[in-house]
Amino acid sequence: MERMRRATIGVGESAARRTPLIGPPTVDARAAREPGGIHVLQAVARIARPRDEVFPFFADARNLEHITPPELHFRIVTPGPIEMGVGTRIDYRLGLWGARFGWMTEITAWDPPHTFTDTQLQGPYHTWIHRHDFEADGDATVMTDEVRYRLPLWPLGDVALPVVARQLRRIFRHRARVIEELLG
């Protein structure tokens, strides 16, 4: 039986409710595995702004350029403005370790201001499903990102999992710091 690998970046929900916004997140070492090589990364943050302000920030695809680490050279190539909703497709270009590549996602769930999901149609992963949940918490918002991903060429591709998982955790830590600067 396989186990799903789960890494939680940030703090658990009870701790998230006590902090205005996560600082440099920590990684929760709980581990499990789903069948078929699916790995899960989860990040939780409490943002000291109401959900009606937080959701539109994350629903604007252009803001991804601001919260992605600069060394990834992340750029949205879909002409704007991008009207978000189920079926919206967004094309990106980015680079990692000297390799440039394209990435296309589709919004597969859209329920403002509660949740949305983007699913990779083309890109570096075999599977990438990123769900964004926004829970009102008084005048603040608890934001939970859950990314379900599978590396290409599974099971052989999982040889790269330690490097990929470390890079993803680093990206979400960077994102948390930038979100704190912009919205905190």
Domain ranges within the chain, ordered by starting residue: 6-70+126-183
Cα–Cα distance measured from residue 7 to residue 147, given in angstroms and rounded to the nearest whole number:
10
Residue 184: per-residue pLDDT: 75
Residue 86: per-residue pLDDT: 98
Contacts of 156 (CB under 8 A, 6+ apart): none
Residue 155: per-residue pLDDT: 87
Cα–Cα distance measured from residue 170 to residue 26, given in angstroms and rounded to the nearest whole number:
10
Amino acid at 36: G
Other beta carbons less than 10 A from residue 54's beta carbon: 22
Q: Residue 51: phi, psi to the nearest 5?
A: -55, -35
Residue 97: per-residue pLDDT: 80
Q: Residue 8: phi, psi to the nearest 5?
A: -105, 125
Give the residues across from 148 on adjacent strands: 40, 129
Residue 110: per-residue pLDDT: 98
CA-nearest of 154, 181, 183, 173 to 44 is 173
Q: What CATH class does 6-70+126-183 carry? A: alpha beta
Residue 16: per-residue pLDDT: 36
**Per-residue tens of pLDDT for the chain, all 184 residues:** 333 333 334 433 333 333 334 433 333 323 346 778 899 998 888 899 999 999 999 999 999 999 999 999 999 999 989 999 999 999 999 998 888 999 999 999 999 999 999 999 999 999 999 999 999 999 999 999 999 999 999 888 889 999 998 899 899 989 989 998 998 7
Residue 33: per-residue pLDDT: 62
How crowded is the C-beta side of 159, counted as CA atoms within 13 Å? 3
Cα–Cα distance measured from residue 126 to residue 46, given in angstroms and rounded to the nearest whole number:
31
